[in-house]
Amino acid sequence: MTASTASNEVTSSTLLFPYARWLREEGFRSPYCLTASGLPAPDPALLGAAADLLDLGPASLEALPAVEARLSELFGVRREQVLVTAGASGAMLVVALALFPGACVATELPGFEPLRVLARLHARETALLRREPANGFALPRNELERALAGPGPVHVLLCQPHNPTGALLSADELADVAARAGKTGGLLISNEVYMEFAPPSGASMPSTWPPTRSPSAA
C-alpha cells in the first residue's frame, strides 16, 4: 500500500464522518479529553459512606484467575483460550505482533483507523473492504472474495458492531467469514468493544466459532 493510497483512505473516511477529521486535527486542543477510553476514579466524597466499602484502585494480579474464569463463562470458551490484556487496544497490538507478519490483513473502510494502521505496519500486505452507505454499510462480498483469493494466510479484521456506523453482521455471516478466512490459514479477528450496546438480534459472539479471535474491552 502506498502513501497516496493511505491518504485517499483518510480523505474518503473523513468526508463521510467529520468526527474523524476533528479527532485527528482538533481533538487534542479540547480542554476535555473526549478521546480517552478510561475514566478517572470518582471523588470518594461523591460516594458518601459507601466510599469506605469500595476499593476504587486497580485490580491486582491476584484478581486475574477470577477475571479469566468469568470471561471464559461469558464467551463460552475454555479458560486457557482467554488472554487478558491492558484493554482492547493492547489486545489488538498483541494480535498484530503475533499474527500479522507474513500475512495479508483485510480491514474495513470506513473503520477504526488504528486497526488499519496496525495492518499497514505489521502485515505483508493489506486489503480494503469498503462499506458503502448505499448498501447499508454491509460487508462487501466482492472485495472480501478478492482478498481471500490472494496468497494466504488472510486475516479478516472487523469491528462488530461496525465502527463507526453500528452495522451488524449476523451470526451466520460471521461464521461464514471465519470459515472462509480459515481456508486460507487465516482468522476472523472481531473487535467487539461495543457489543454490549448491540440489540439482542445482533449480539452474536464469533469467539464461539473457530477459527476466530475476539478482542473485547470491559
DSSP states along 72-91: HHHHTS-GGG----SHHHHH
Query: Which 3 state secondary structure label does DSSP give 125?
Result: strand
> What's the domain range around 186?
86-213
Does residue 45 fall inside a structural domain?
no
Does residue 158 fall inside a structural domain?
yes
Evaluated on CA atoms 129, 135, 138, 144, the torsion sign reads negative
CA 16, 17, 22: angle at the middle one, nearest 5? 135
Does residue 69 fall inside a structural domain?
no
- Only one residue has cell 473502510, namely 109
**pTM to 2 decimal places:** 0.74
Does residue 73 fall inside a structural domain?
no
Does residue 57 fall inside a structural domain?
no
H runs (alpha helix) in 76-152: 87-99, 113-122, 141-149
34: pLDDT confidence band, cut at 50, 70 and 90?
low
The set of cell numbers assigned to 164 is 463507526
Task: Provide the pLDDT for residue 205.
Answer: 52
Half-sphere exposure of 167 (CA within 13 A, CB side): 20
Average pLDDT score, the chain? 80
Does residue 132 fall inside a structural domain?
yes
Q: For 80-136, write each residue's pLDDT tens digit.
A: 888 888 888 888 999 999 999 999 999 999 988 889 989 999 999 999 999 999 999
* Low-confidence winner among 25-34, 150-159, 182-191 (lowest mean pLDDT): 25-34
Does residue 133 fall inside a structural domain?
yes
Q: What CATH number does residue 150 fall under? A: 3.40.640.10
Percent of the chain with pLDDT over 70: 76
Looking at the structure of the chain, the number of domains it has is: 1
* Low-confidence winner among 48-52, 108-112, 212-216 (lowest mean pLDDT): 212-216
Does residue 78 fall inside a structural domain?
no
